[in-house]
Structures are given as structure tokens and as C-alpha cells.
């Protein structure tokens, strides 16, 4: 990944903008469901553990983040 910290920051920003039906922001569980990866994988990524390109691209697609930031 080119700039992992920028991608993680973009993910944090996108999560705070993404709303559930009740108006609250998405949690890791919603992102996990949208990507098809486990909550544990999402937590690892958000905690700074580098994930595979496949995981990063799935996160980018789920949150409408440009894919070039993920790879």
C-alpha cells in the first residue's frame, strides 16, 4: 500500500459520514458485513495492522474511497 496512514484516515472519515438506518454512524460490524470480512479483520486494520490488498480494496469499495488509496 502506498500510504497506509492516509488510507486509514480516509476510512475513519468515511465511517463517520456513513449512517445506519437509525442515523448513527457505521460501526466496525457494518463495515465487516459490507466487505465480507470479519470484525476482527476490520479491527486489526483500524488498529494499524496492514491487511492484504483484497481487504483494503473491499473497504475502499464499501466506503466509496478511491481504490488507488488502498493499493
Q: What is the pLDDT along the chain (71 residues), one digit of tens a residue?
A: 468 889 999 999 999 888 877 778 899 999 999 999 999 999 999 998 889 999 999 999 999 999 888 88
- Report helix, strand or coil for 51: coil
* pTM for this prediction: 0.89
From the CB of residue 18, how many other CB atoms can be counted at a distance below 10 Å? 17
Phi, psi at 27, each rounded to 5°: -105, 175
Which alpha helices (H) appear in the chain, and where do they start and end?
A: 4-17, 28-35, 39-46, 53-63
Which residues does residue 25 pair with via DSSP β-bridges, in sequence order? 19
Span 48-66, pLDDT tens digits = 888 999 999 999 999 999 9
Amino acid at each position: 500500500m502506498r500510504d497506509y496512514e492516509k488510507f486509514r484516515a480516509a476510512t475513519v472519515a468515511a465511517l463517520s459520514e456513513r449512517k445506519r438506518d437509525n442515523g448513527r454512524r457505521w460501526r466496525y460490524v457494518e463495515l465487516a458485513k459490507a466487505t465480507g470480512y470479519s470484525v476482527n479483520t476490520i479491527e486489526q486494520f483500524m488498529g494499524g495492522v496492514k491487511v492484504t490488498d483484497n481487504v483494503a480494496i473491499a473497504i475502499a469499495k464499501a466506503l466509496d474511497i478511491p481504490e488507488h488509496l488502498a493499493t
